[in-house]
Copies of this chain bind each other. A is one copy, B any other.
């Protein structure tokens, strides 16, 4: 853990706001002592609700390394990852995550991170966005085809 990486993430987040590029968030993917990729929030300017700093940094790091996983890498982010970004870093198999501000700090600044955490941990029928299951039997078919497909690449 190097505080210099976190200081860079925080400085990038401040700069991202001042340049009008998006929300007050930035992240770095680090391998050993080298920065593999940087990302800042671009939701409003890229018209992409998934363009959070962590997702941008993870996508860029995978592009740089030519891989779909980031084993051996750490993430430094100016704020605790929201559930979307936390899910992304699990799928990317990052080793460790360092964050500065908390989800409560983000909530106080007007962002929905804490709300979405609460939602995700509720049963489906208690959420504010309705999630309805349909055609559950037909929905098994893609998994059956996957299990039988010899060329499948697992992730």
Chain A residues proximal to chain B, CB less than 8 Å: 1, 3, 6-7, 10, 13-14, 16-18, 20, 23-26, 43-44, 46-50, 52, 55, 58-59, 62-63, 66-70, 78-102, 105-106, 108-110, 112, 115-117, 119-121, 129-136, 138-143, 145-147, 149, 151-155
Contacts and interface: CB of A to CB of B under 8 A. Distances in A.
Contact of A10 (B1, B69, B93, B135): B135
A86 B120 contact: yes
A149 B16 CA distance: 11
21 contacts: A6-B138, A7-B138, A10-B142, A16-B142, A17-B146, A17-B149, A23-B155, A43-B155, A46-B68, A47-B66, A47-B67, A47-B68, A48-B68, A49-B70, A49-B91, A50-B58, A80-B133, A83-B84, A87-B116, A91-B112, A98-B134
A132 B1 contact: yes
A50 B79 CA distance: 19
Please give the count of copies of this chain that the complex contains. Answer: 2
A20 B67 CA distance: 17
B62 A142 contact: no
Contacts of A59: 48, 50
B141 A102 contact: no
Given A49-B88, A50-B91, A88-B49, A80 B140 contact: no
